């Protein structure tokens, strides 16, 4: 265990479906046309940044090409955990930059982060992933459970880092579904995560996508900075 982490130990103890007719009668055709038009419009909107409205290219099919090093693009709150990220990544056979990308957008390095849905810790792991006597706020425990799921997601995605990130957020089962059927939250997660990871993997020293994310998540990183006692 890294010495700087010792101070973070703490004690914590049917969707309904309407029955339809068996044929496309004249009464249901207009609603069907409206549905098709609506879906097409949503697909059109998915080509735009969720924050700027500018057209973007969602980066799918990103292979994992890590070199065992952590990119400098990540914020100081995530860099704080660098030695741990390298250790966790090695343990689960993951690229450190993929691990750091998840930590960046999940908690910005705050080991006490908690979502309204009940996800906790550095990697925002849901309660049902923990064992009975686990401390979900312990960094090692949180990483063990979160990285095991990321590892499974990456395997299900055939090594595609972007799909693995989507599976981490929305559940591994969504990987086999068309992107148009994903929840809006997962669409956004793919946008942020795939862009940040692509920048980290390219050897860049700065990430435009991360800077864009920070303009909307500065509060998360401010809380992490205070929790980690960083300047």
- Contact, 150 vs 160, CB < 8 A? no
**pLDDT tier at 67, thresholds 50, 70, 90:** low
Tokens representing 199 are 């920048």
Q: Is the pLDDT of residue 6 over 50?
A: no
Question: In this predicted structure, what is the pLDDT of residue 129?
Answer: 95
User: Annotated catalytic residue: which of 106, 181, 185, 212?
Assistant: 106
SS3 51: coil
Question: In this predicted structure, what is the pLDDT of residue 50?
Answer: 41
DSSP states along 69-136: ---TTS-HHHHTTHHHHHHHHHHHT--HHHHHHHHHHHTTT-TT-B-TTS-BTTTTB-GGGS-TT--T
Length of the chain as a residue count: 231
Give the distance from CA 118 to its chain's centroid: 16
pLDDT in tens, 34-62: 444 344 434 433 344 343 333 333 445 55
Q: What would the CATH number be for the domain defined by 61-227?
A: 1.10.530.10
pLDDT in tens, 139-198: 999 999 999 999 999 999 999 999 999 999 999 999 999 999 999 999 999 999 999 999
- Residue 106 among the catalytic residues: yes
Question: In this predicted structure, what is the pLDDT of residue 124?
Answer: 97
Domain layout of the chain by residue ranges: 61-227
Q: What share of the chain is helix, strand, coil (3-state, %, to 5)?
A: 55, 5, 40
**pLDDT tier at 22, thresholds 50, 70, 90:** very low
- Contact, 184 vs 46, CB < 8 A? no
Mean pLDDT of 195-215: 96
């Amino acid at each position: 265990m890294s010495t700087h982490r010792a101070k973070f130990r703490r004690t914590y103890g049917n969707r309904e479906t309407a029955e339809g007719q068996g044929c496309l009668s004249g009464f249901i055709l207009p609603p069907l046309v409206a549905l098709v038009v609506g879906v097409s419009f949503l697909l059109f909107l998915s080509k735009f940044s969720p924050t700027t409205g500018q057209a973007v290219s969602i980066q799918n099919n990103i292979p994992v090409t890590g070199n065992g090093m952590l990119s400098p693009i990540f914020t100081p709150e995530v860099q704080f955990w660098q030695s741990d990220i390298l250790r966790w990544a090695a343990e689960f056979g993951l690229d450190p930059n993929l691990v750091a990308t998840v930590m960046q957008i999940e908690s910005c390095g705050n080991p006490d982060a908690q979502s309204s849905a009940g996800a906790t810790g550095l990697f925002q792991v849901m309660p049902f992933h923990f064992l009975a006597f686990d401390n979900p706020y312990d960094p090692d425990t949180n990483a063990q459970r979160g990285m095991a799921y990321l590892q499974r997601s990456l395997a299900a995605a055939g090594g595609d880092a972007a799909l693995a990130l989507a599976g981490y957020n929305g559940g591994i089962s969504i990987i086999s579904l068309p992107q148009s059927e994903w929840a809006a939250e997962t669409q956004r997660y793919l946008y942020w995560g795939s862009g940040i990871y692509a920048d980290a993997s390219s050897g860049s020293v700065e990430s435009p996508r991360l800077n864009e994310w920070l303009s909307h998540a500065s509060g998360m990183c401010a809380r992490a900075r205070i929790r980690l006692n960083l300047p």
